């Protein structure tokens, strides 16, 4: 079988177009990602996911979604209930540590019930970014809180909930986006904190969760490590911090190639992501001309990237057989406004 290319692609709408099917079949992305524009009703989502996998002939190909809860929830009511933000769960943790950890586990386990019945098997969660006062709201209430130790504990619980439901998590945004004073969707955040400050705060949750199988990079410059390039394309950040200090040996997926924190054409961005050391180029918006540029730059999986994708593919485990309604009732009891 011909090897997949080191990329994850989106699509433009609720069904695949003939051009998208042809591109996928010819260029063999390793996986796919869904956004709100792709999610109109539950049977349609399941059909779309199945058609993506059918196009590349891989029935278990990773299909990702950002289903965090709060303002980042791609599938919303009435299809799937609205879940609370990471900050709301963090508030439970601050009142009662054990109840907070249980709430984080439960919400992820409920995401798994929601998503696996649609064929989605990867949730881009947990958010391990630790904000500081005055930072951009791009993270904001998506974070569990301002204490890196609490964020690490809540992140672990969230990841375990997904895995208990037969899914896999992607930690984000490695090595940390919480200190960014700009929204990387629109411009490049530059962080001037010392390496010691970063290690004690921003990097800490990722160190605690370094053994997870996947992480997503941050489009953010850390001047103490590389004053020129954002982490996503910085070989220095990836080698010294992500692979070195953090000790993460899992699959490193870029954040979205089309975000304006990155400069140059889409093809140039994708090439720099590959050259910098990310294993997978992520492209989300489904624009055909941009996807064509990504596939030109992406290379077939080989070496360490192939080893890591193989580990991910082998890392899915059967769901635990839990009682969905009982867990929903418990979760609603924990998160009800008193």
- Note the Cα 115 to chain centre separation in Å: 15
CA-based nearest residue to 272, from 331, 316, 222, 219: 219
- Whether 132 and 148 have beta carbons less than 8 Å apart is answered as no
Catalytic, out of 255, 256, 279, 283? 255
Query: What number of residues does the chain have?
Result: 338
Q: Which of 47, 147, 183, 185 is catalytic?
A: 185
CB-based contact 72:78 (threshold 8 Å): no
Q: Is 230 helix (H, G, I), strand (E, B) or coil?
A: coil
| Distance from C-alpha of 114 to C-alpha of 144, rounded to nearest angstrom | 22
Q: Is 123 a catalytic residue?
A: no
Is 255 tagged catalytic? yes
Side-chain half-sphere exposure of 149, counting CA atoms within 13 A: 2
Q: Annotate 250-273 with b (16+ C-beta within 10 A) or e (fewer).
A: bbbbbbbbbbebbeeebbebbbbb
Active-site residue list: 185, 255
């Amino acid at each position: 079988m011909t090897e997949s290319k080191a990329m994850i692609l989106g699509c433009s709408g609720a069904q695949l177009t003939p051009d998208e099917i042809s591109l996928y079949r010819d260029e063999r992305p390793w996986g796919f990602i869904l956004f709100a524009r792709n999610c109109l009703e539950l049977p349609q989502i399941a059909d779309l996911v199945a058609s993506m996998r059918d196009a590349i002939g891989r029935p278990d190909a990773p299909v990702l979604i950002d289903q965090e809860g709060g303002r980042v929830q791609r599938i919303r009511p009435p299809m799937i209930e609205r879940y609370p933000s990471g900050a709301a769960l963090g508030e439970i943790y601050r009142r009662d540590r054990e109840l907070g950890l249980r709430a984080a586990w439960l919400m992820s386990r409920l995401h798994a019930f929601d998503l696996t019945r649609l064929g989605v098997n990867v949730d881009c969660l947990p958010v391990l970014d630790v904000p500081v006062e005055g930072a951009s709201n791009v993270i904001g209430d998506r974070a569990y809180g301002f204490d890196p130790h609490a964020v690490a504990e809540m992140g672990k619980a969230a990841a375990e909930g997904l895995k208990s439901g037969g899914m896999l998590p992607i930690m984000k945004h490695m090595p940390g986006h919480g200190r960014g004073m700009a929204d990387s969707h629109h411009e490049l955040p530059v962080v001037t904190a010392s390496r010691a400050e970063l290690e004690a705060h921003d990097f800490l949750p990722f160190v605690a969760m370094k053994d997870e199988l996947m992480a997503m990079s941050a489009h953010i410059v850390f001047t103490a490590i590389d004053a020129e390039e954002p982490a996503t394309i910085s070989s220095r950040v990836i080698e010294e911090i992500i692979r070195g200090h953090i000790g993460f040996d899992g699959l490193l997926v870029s954040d979205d190639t089309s975000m304006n924190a990155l400069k140059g054409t889409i093809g140039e961005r994708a090439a720099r992501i590959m050259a910098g050391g990310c294993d997978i180029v992520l492209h989300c918006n489904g624009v055909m001309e941009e996807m064509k540029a990504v596939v030109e730059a992406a290379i077939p999986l080989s070496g360490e990237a192939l080893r890591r994708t193989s580990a991910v593919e082998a890392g899915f485990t059967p769901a635990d057989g839990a009682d969905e309604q009982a867990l929903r009732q418990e979760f609603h009891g924990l998160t009800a406004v008193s």
